[in-house]
Amino acid sequence: MPELPASDHTDGTRFFNPAAICPEGMPPARLRYLAILQWQWNRPKSDWPAWIENPTPTGDPHALPAPDTVQLTFIGHSTFLIRLPRPDGTALTILTDPIFSQRCSPLPFLGPKRVRAPGRRLADLPRIDIVLVSHAHYDHMDLPSLRAIARRGDNPLVVTPLANARFMRRTGLKRIMELDWWQAVASGGIRITCTPARHGAARTPFDRNTSLWGGFMVQDEAGHQLFFAGDTADGRHWRLIRQRLGAPDIALLPIGAYEPRALMERVHTTPEEALSGLRQLGARHGIGMHFGTFRLTDEPMDEPVTRLAKAVRDAGLPPDTMGIMAHGACRGIAWDQPNDA
């Protein structure tokens, strides 16, 4: 196991969610593994389709974003292509938690399988400058996808929380920057800050929480901010992020993989909690992710989207306060888009 730095979220051998984020702590690992095994043994039959076709993609990921906008392309799950305009007329391109594989699993023949293709093929994307990898779970750190990015020759900077580089060193990616929570790196005219998340990490039964998890706040030269939450449960970190870094203009927040609640409430948000997180962050506009690609938990496939829309209505907010993008959709969003949240 790697030797971990001293901080309020590690005991020197493993990371954990500190009381400032998760006051009730996590259940003992032995009890949690037992509960997960019991759940897997008794899981209800899936109502997810074996396959669903994506809508026809809209927009052009290669187009330069207009001034004062950010261009987003939703690939699927937690994978977004983000393009930020530069003063010289070019664009900086960021890819988040890239997964283009058929399964999110250590084995190519077992584990959660896609029910839909990536909204865009990796081969159809523009040159990638920066890759953000939020943590080591297989649906967020997909090594085959990272190897494919390395083979493209883009030589992107990979930004990830502490102790994750060791998983990625054999992918062929050469520039990997590890950050602790609240640490930042500047590249290509933007500043990327690693932010807390209420979650966990593992790639085997033997390395639980030996690597850190987190989200990222991306700030451009004009001070505009886009927040990518990674994977997280609800918690006090929303307000901490706003207090330390200011409100983001746009927030990409997870809305799926929340049932059964007794098991998932400490690692994944419901759509209602994601909307609450948006409001605590003070973001003007929210976009849901982490839904409708892999069946990881027990909620119906379409439920996160319908519950999110209902939560927005029930809160009396404008319909575009927070919603989703269709798989493969590409569109520009104005930084100053109003939001009454």
Whole-number percent of the chain with pLDDT over 90: 86
Angle 325-124-191 from CA coordinates, rounded to 5°: 65
Ramachandran sector of residue 327 (left: φ over 0; alpha: ψ -120 to 50; beta: rest) = beta
Q: What is the mean pLDDT of the chain?
A: 93
Say how far apart CA 187 and CA 221 lie, in whole Å.
11
> Is it true that the peptide bond before 260 is cis, omega within 30 degrees of 0?
yes
Grade residue 29 by pLDDT with cuts at 50, 70 and 90. low
Say how far apart CA 30 and CA 38 lie, in whole Å.
12
**Contact of 86 with 187, CB cutoff 8 Å:** no
Say how far apart CA 289 and CA 208 lie, in whole Å.
24
User: What pLDDT is stored for residue 324 in this prediction?
Assistant: 98
- When computed from its CA atoms, the radius of gyration of the chain, rounded to whole angstroms, is 19
User: What pLDDT is stored for residue 339 in this prediction?
Assistant: 43
Q: What's this model's pTM, rounded to 2 decimal places?
A: 0.95
Say how far apart CA 248 and CA 229 lie, in whole Å.
11
Find the mean pLDDT for residues 113-127: 98
Name the residue among 119, 115, 133, 134 with its Cα closest to residue 75.
Answer: 119
Say how far apart CA 2 and CA 251 lie, in whole Å.
32
Ramachandran sector of residue 284 (left: φ over 0; alpha: ψ -120 to 50; beta: rest) = alpha
**Is it the case that residue 341 has pLDDT exceeding 50?**
no
What are the b/e assignments for 241-277, b being 16+ CB within 10 Å?
A: bbeebebbbbbbbbbbbbbeeebbebbbbbbbbbbbb
Q: Tell me the three state secondary structure of residue 175.
A: strand
The full set of domains in the chain, from first to last, is 61-334 (3.60.15.10)
Find the mean pLDDT for residues 57-78: 97
pLDDT tens track for 222-272: 999 999 999 999 999 999 999 999 999 999 999 999 999 999 999 999 999
User: What pLDDT is stored for residue 337 in this prediction?
Assistant: 61
pLDDT tens track for 282-314: 999 999 999 999 999 999 999 999 999 999 999
**Contact of 215 with 252, CB cutoff 8 Å:** no
Say how far apart CA 196 and CA 240 lie, in whole Å.
9
Which residue's entry shows tokens 């989207």? Answer: 305
Grade residue 42 by pLDDT with cuts at 50, 70 and 90. confident
**Is it the case that residue 30 has pLDDT exceeding 70?**
no
What are the b/e assignments for 94-107, b being 16+ CB within 10 Å?
A: bbbbbbbbebbbee
